[in-house]
Structure 1
Amino acid sequence: MNPDDRSRVAPDLKSETAAAPEEAGKSIHLGLLGRTPPFTRRQRRVFWIASTAGFFNEYDRALLSLALKQIQAGLKIAESQLGAVLSMIRLGYLLTLLLTPFADVFGRRRLLLYTVMGYTVFTGLSAVAPGERTFVMFQIVARAFAGAEAAVAMVIVAEEVDAAHRGWAIGLLGAVSSIGYGLAAIVFAFINVIPYGWRGLYAIALVPLVLIIPLRRVLPESARFEKEKLEGLRPVKVWQPLVQLYSAYPGRLMMMVSVASLASMGGSAAALLFPKFLQDTHHWSPGNVSSLFFFGGALGILGSIIAGRLSDRYGRRVMGAAFMFLSPILTVWMYTAPGWSIVPAWILEEFFDIASITILNAYSAELFPTSYRSTAGSALAVAGTTGGALGLLFESVLFNITGSHARDVCYLTVFWIIAPAIIWFFPETSGRELEEISPEANAI
């Protein structure tokens, strides 16, 4: 192909991702979620289809936490082994690092289609798991597919939207995805009514999943991926994105991994054990827990949108450090608060926790080049998973000493509060084009 031919078929990123005069970006009001960025028609389609990936990841994650007491009873999991079981399930996200390189080699769209099918199968198997071991095994594989879906969806949005609104779009993606958490909260309120209890809640997830598969087929491929494919910059071997990720920008990678690991070491046990804590310690009913997570969570997820917009205006580094510093402090409050004061404590903690996750997600998409950007997104998930698994294992060890999950969670926040200091060493990325932030290594 000669240069003239290539110029006719290579996608122009400005024409693909920015609004043309005849197709000016339009902002849509979403009620509680606020307005969307000024998306073009293509950007709107990409955004809404990509948001379905995070929806199912959030539903699955929320369901395990909300129905933990019932799952524990149904599968006869010992109290002293609970942290270890949750840790093993979280390890499923480690497998996303084996899946996401396929998105950097073969395309973002194709991997989204395959991961939704894998997630559907293993979510269905989780609903009929006969015992603890099989449930854990099915959940591990389901988490691998769900984590890969969410990582690639976030990369697609980051690559498609304009630089000035990238943080806003990623924040809104997180907020829309959190609707899956809200759905889990709603159905959990009926856990004593729905046939087969917690197993029925997992089966419910299969209905929208089947409906989503045809929708994914109209998702366009990322313009940046297509451009690099035509220019010969796309990796051709599945192992290449992994090698490039660990060799091209080692400093950035180590900083991102450290922040995600430390935050998860302190935060994972707090999030997973909280619904059980409310039922065991404060004697809340499933309906009360569901109401808090649905109505309070609706306020908490605004942290995603607000974090995105503030980080576009004031910078990822400043806002990320501030949000992550407040999260562990509020976690200690919500595990020690008396009576109903636990409600505002949880809402504020959820707000700042979601806000800090939004900043980290934006960084994972911005700090690395297109040729291995999806792999970088899964590296963030792997770091969080590893840290979270270690935190849950520590919680199990501490429980054998203290006999109190709440006290253990407060001790673990020591790891979490270290993470904000590392963010100060991150480069500032807000308002800059991806190619300026992270040029391909062979072009430096």
Structure 2
Amino acid sequence: MTDPAASLDLKPDPDPSAEDADRKSIHLGMLGRTPPFTSRQRRVFWIASTAGFFDQYDRALLSLALKQIQTGLKIAESHLGAMLSLIRLGYLLSLLMTPFADVFGRRRLLLYTVFGYTIFTGLIAIAPGERTFVVFEIIARAFAGAEAAIAMVIVAEEVDAAHRGWAIGLLGGVSSIGYGLAAIVFAFINVIPYGWRGLYAIALLPLALIIPLRRSLPESARFEKEKLESLRPVKIWEPVVQLYTAYPRRLVMMLSIAFLGSMGGNAAGFLFPKFLQETHHWSPGNVSSLFLFGGALGIMGSIVAGRMSDRYGRRVMGATFLFLSPLLTIWMYTASGWSIVPAWILEVFFDIASGTILNAYSAELFPTSYRSTAGSALAVAGTTGGALGLFFEGVLYNFTDSQARAVCYLTVFWMISPIIMWFLPETSGRELEEISPEPTAT
């Protein structure tokens, strides 16, 4: 008989002693050390981190340059909230893409999404008006959201259980360098040709280098194993159906946390650069400096959250970080003078920390056969909540005539999230198959 493993070109399990000798922890300066990765894990991690990099760049650029984009495209202030809500809804479309990763493989879809994101990022740079800008942003966000969800799954499936939180946290930290790059180039928005359009065009250069790099990405070992055992879904709608039927309690809690957290906090983060420029009269250079240097401290929350959740548990640390985030948001929108700086840095730290733990949960609480779809569903919930939050911010602004008050009122929804997270199962240090066995195995 033909060995089925041979037809898939799967190599036998490596010698454990040789694998241990291959493990290496690399120091990344301010980001600290990596977990003790094997050479395969290192390669997977670095390639996967490029997905989140561009998603963060795009998000940051729209937020930082919102005032300039609004002026350049002649967008009315009354249209702004609706426009931002529509753009956020682009992540909903990622749910149409990620099931393909559960059916055909993580590697293949990660390659396709980078092509789509590249094309529509280029189109954003030449958008002639408000409507085309929104359409191109929506489609680019769909590809970026799918990229980020699949990258998270790839890392979660490849690293060791003892260091999974650490690796996911570090992935968030490395991806956030995209935010830093956006802050750097935004400082030169008045110098770079074509202003905000030139900032979008800059993203095309590193994207062109990433495409050939991703061709060396190996397929997830867990996906290959399920393919060999005939456990992976074969029809595109199966991952979505399984997601909503196998672990419904987990799914409802995760979606609720993401929805309420984004509904209460998305407007606060998105509108903050505009708030600094209009209310506190900061220059683009000052805003850029805060986001670059203060943000570098804030993104450490991702790494700290990953390591602390490995040691003390996802549930305890996640609920703690989620509880502190809205309180710090209220502080940063009511602070006076330069006290706004530590308020913002701490808020970013705890917000990123709580998001890291939520992302880890999304990869751990659901089986391999629809893990990518689960990550995308979480993004969809967050996107819907964020879009609704931006809409309500506009409504509240009309009543209060204050952006700060409107944002602070919305944090009420955010404060419900840590209560729900407390009831999630603990996952740190456990193998994925133990946490979320396939429904056929239960």
Range into which the TM-score falls when normalised by the shorter chain = over 0.9
Aligned to 2:222: 224
Q: CA deviation at 1:76?
A: 1.3
The equivalent position to 1:100 in structure 2, one of 98, 101, 115, is 98
Give CA-to-partner distance per residue, 1:252-277, whole Å, 9 cap, x none.
00000000000000111001100000
What pairs up with 1:24-423 in 2 under 5 angstroms?
24-423=22-421
Q: CA deviation at 1:405?
A: 1.2
Distance change >3 Å, CA 19–CA 399, structure 1 → 2: farther
Q: Is the 8 A contact 2:180 2:296 kept in 1?
A: yes
Aligned length in residues:
442
Q: Is the 8 A contact 1:49 1:215 kept in 2?
A: yes
Q: Is the 8 A contact 1:304 1:358 kept in 2?
A: yes
Q: CA deviation at 1:21?
A: 4.4
Distance change >3 Å, CA 232–CA 289, structure 1 → 2: same
Q: Is the 8 A contact 1:19 1:40 kept in 2?
A: no
Partners of 1:249 and 1:51 in 2: how far apart?
28
Residues 78-87 or 315-324, more deviating: 78-87
Identity of aligned residues (%): 81
Q: Is the 8 A contact 2:332 2:343 kept in 1?
A: yes
Question: Which TM-score applies when normalising by structure 2?
Answer: 0.98
Aligned to 1:428: 426
Partners of 1:254 and 1:325 in 2: how far apart?
20
Question: Which TM-score applies when normalising by structure 1?
Answer: 0.97
Q: CA deviation at 1:25?
A: 1.4
Partners of 1:321 and 1:12 in 2: how far apart?
41
Partners of 2:274 and 2:404 in 1: how far apart?
10
Partners of 1:13 and 1:359 in 2: how far apart?
33
Give CA-to-partner distance per residue, 1:329-358, whole Å, 9 cap, x none.
000000000000000000000000000000
Q: CA deviation at 1:66?
A: 0.3
Q: CA deviation at 1:309?
A: 0.2
Partners of 1:400 and 1:13 in 2: how far apart?
64
Name the aligned partner's letter for residue 277 of structure 1: F
Q: Is the 8 A contact 1:80 1:400 kept in 2?
A: no
Partners of 1:145 and 1:13 in 2: how far apart?
35
Q: CA deviation at 1:402?
A: 1.4
Partners of 2:26 and 2:350 in 1: how far apart?
25
Q: Is the 8 A contact 2:299 2:348 kept in 1?
A: yes
Distance change >3 Å, CA 53–CA 105, structure 1 → 2: same
Note the aligned Cα RMSD (angstroms).
Answer: 1.5
Q: Secondary structure at the match of 2:162?
A: helix
Q: CA deviation at 1:82?
A: 1.1
Q: Is the 8 A contact 2:83 2:134 kept in 1?
A: yes
Q: Is the 8 A contact 2:4 2:228 kept in 1?
A: no
Partners of 1:134 and 1:404 in 2: how far apart?
30
Q: Is the 8 A contact 2:169 2:305 kept in 1?
A: yes
Q: CA deviation at 1:20?
A: 3.7
Q: CA deviation at 1:23?
A: 3.6
Q: Secondary structure at the match of 2:22?
A: coil
Q: Is the 8 A contact 2:19 2:38 kept in 1?
A: no
Partners of 2:432 and 2:12 in 1: how far apart?
11
Partners of 1:200 and 1:225 in 2: how far apart?
40
Q: Secondary structure at the match of 1:46?
A: helix
Q: CA deviation at 1:12?
A: 7.9
Name the aligned partner's letter for residue 109 of structure 1: R
Q: CA deviation at 1:239?
A: 0.6
Name the aligned partner's letter for residue 288 of structure 2: S
Name the aligned partner's letter for residue 276 of structure 2: L
Q: CA deviation at 1:22?
A: 6.1
Q: Is the 8 A contact 1:10 1:226 kept in 2?
A: no
Partners of 2:23 and 2:352 in 1: how far apart?
27
Partners of 2:365 and 2:94 in 1: how far apart?
19
Moved over 2 A (4+): 4-16, 18-24
Aligned to 2:440: 442
Name the aligned partner's letter for residue 30 of structure 2: L
Partners of 1:221 and 1:32 in 2: how far apart?
30
Distance change >3 Å, CA 246–CA 201, structure 1 → 2: same
Q: Is the 8 A contact 1:59 1:184 kept in 2?
A: yes
Q: CA deviation at 1:75?
A: 1.2
Partners of 2:204 and 2:8 in 1: how far apart?
39
Name the aligned partner's letter for residue 369 of structure 2: S
Q: Is the 8 A contact 1:303 1:351 kept in 2?
A: yes
Q: Is the 8 A contact 2:65 2:186 kept in 1?
A: yes
